[in-house]
Amino acid sequence: MSDLETRAVPARVPLPRRAVPALLGYAAVRALGLAVLAGWSAARGKSAYTLLTARWDSLWYTGVAELGYGYELRLPNGDVHSNLAFFPLLPWLERLLHALTPLSYADAGFVVSLLASLAAAAGIFAVADRLYGPRAGFFTVLLWAVLPVGIVQSMAYSESLFTALAAWSLYAVLTGRWVSAGVLAALAGLTRPVGAAVVAAVWTAGVISFLRDRGTRDAPGVRRDAHAPGAPAVASVGASVSGAPARRRVLGMLLAPLGAGGYVLWVGHRTGAGPLGYLDVQAGWRNGFDGGYAFARFVAGRFTSFPSALAGLGLIAGVALLIWLYVTCVRRRQPAALLVYTGVVLALALCASSYFGSKPRLLLPAFPLLLPLAGALARRRPPVAALVTAGLAGAAAVYGAFWLNGSGPP
């Protein structure tokens, strides 16, 4: 049995009720972050709300919501920044909310982000609770909230929306709701390029389920009475994933790539560059996938002087921590869907060839990496766990305020 597992909650307690403590804790952490940001920004003569809703990528999203696609910014060096780089679901929601309410496009983006962040926290809890119980779910949500760049969860960016769709799609996979998993994966694919990670997770779980149906249904560790008291949680996941009718699994797998694939093909048609035209749009932003070569050069470049060398060491330590956490997830036998999803998110974030300062926020959707750490907190005595969490929340609030009042995203 995994050391993440905790005491089971009676089945009569519904998921929404089990999630309430985690959502309240998440809301408290986010409120602290926003309060510190407001105070810090006011002291510097800046508007915290502007930093959250009308800077960096949020301006591109509201531009798409208001004017549609087709805007390009030509830089002096010849680069062309096209708003086709930004996937459409967040702008669509901003436009819808603007049409239904008196909110501006920027206000609508902020509201969508706040609601999506709560939905993401609920989805993260659902996944962790499904696998390891409500205590692990509670701490997984809090750890996601106290990430150093967690303030992005409250910005008019697409990270919260994407994480919500990804988490609930993964939960649908784990519980055998294949059509829901496919629809949510398609919506995630309309939100960010990393939607490919959700598609890969759905397809991986689907293929494994069919292979299991062909001859491994009674393999050791996957018992027909997996829901019996004391049975490993991961075993019950395997049973539910393979138990759905084949036609629903096929339908979910067919639906999953429609969002990302449809948008990429539409961009290729609009630009006249063919099916891979979206890559040309990204190239205009000097963004691409080079296997991590550019990032490695960026890190190596930090070792040209003593102060920047410390930053280089910090980057190396951060990447090493991410790899260690992923290896730990593999060793603890997380479901294949989670491992594939997290692996693709990590690869796309770390191996992109530009915008090195944005990599921490690109890693926000990789919440399964937090499960081993959540398990460690869940095993601590409550006062110790509360003290650690409170300290991390305070540090994240201060860092988020400092970061947005400084260089901040893109």
Mean pLDDT over each residue of the chain, to the nearest integer:
90
β-strand partners of 352: 289
Is 166 within 8 Å of 198 (Cβ atoms)?
Answer: yes
What digits encode the pLDDT tens for the residues 130-155? 999 999 999 999 999 999 999 999 99
Phi and psi for 6 in degrees, rounded to 5? -125, 180
Element (H, E) at 119: helix 105-132
| Model pTM score | 0.92
Q: Please calculate the CA angle 368-60-157 and round it to the nearest 5 degrees.
A: 25
Taking CA atoms, 128 is separated from 14, 159, 338, 354, in Å, by 15, 19, 11, 32
User: How many C-beta atoms surround the C-beta of residue 327 within 10 A?
Assistant: 11
Helix (H, G, I), strand (E, B) or coil at 158: coil
**Which residue would you say has higher pLDDT here, 354 or 309?**
309
> What is the pLDDT, as a whole number, of residue 408?
86
Instruction: Tell me what the mean pLDDT of segment 291-316 comes to.
Output: 88
DSSP string, 282-338: HHHTT--B-TTHHHHHHHHHGGGSHHHHHHHHHHHHHHHHHHHHHHHHHHTT--HHH
> What is the pLDDT, as a whole number, of residue 241?
63
Domain range annotation of the chain: 15-404
Q: Is the pLDDT of residue 1 over 70?
A: no
What digits encode the pLDDT tens for the residues 78-128? 899 999 999 999 999 999 999 999 999 999 999 999 999 999 999 999 999
> What is the pLDDT, as a whole number, of residue 358?
87
Chain centroid, CA 341 distance in Å: 10
> What is the pLDDT, as a whole number, of residue 289?
87
What digits encode the pLDDT tens for the residues 178-207? 999 999 999 999 999 999 999 999 999 999
> What is the pLDDT, as a whole number, of residue 291?
87
User: How many C-beta atoms surround the C-beta of residue 44 within 10 A?
Assistant: 11
pLDDT category of residue 161 using cuts at 50, 70 and 90: very high
Contacting residues for 337 by C-beta, under 8 A, at least 6 apart: 170, 173, 174, 201, 202, 204, 205
> What is the pLDDT, as a whole number, of residue 11?
52
> What gap in Å lies between CA 132 and CA 129, rounded to an integer?
5
> What is the pLDDT, as a whole number, of residue 301?
87
Half-sphere exposure of 190 (CA within 13 A, CB side): 18
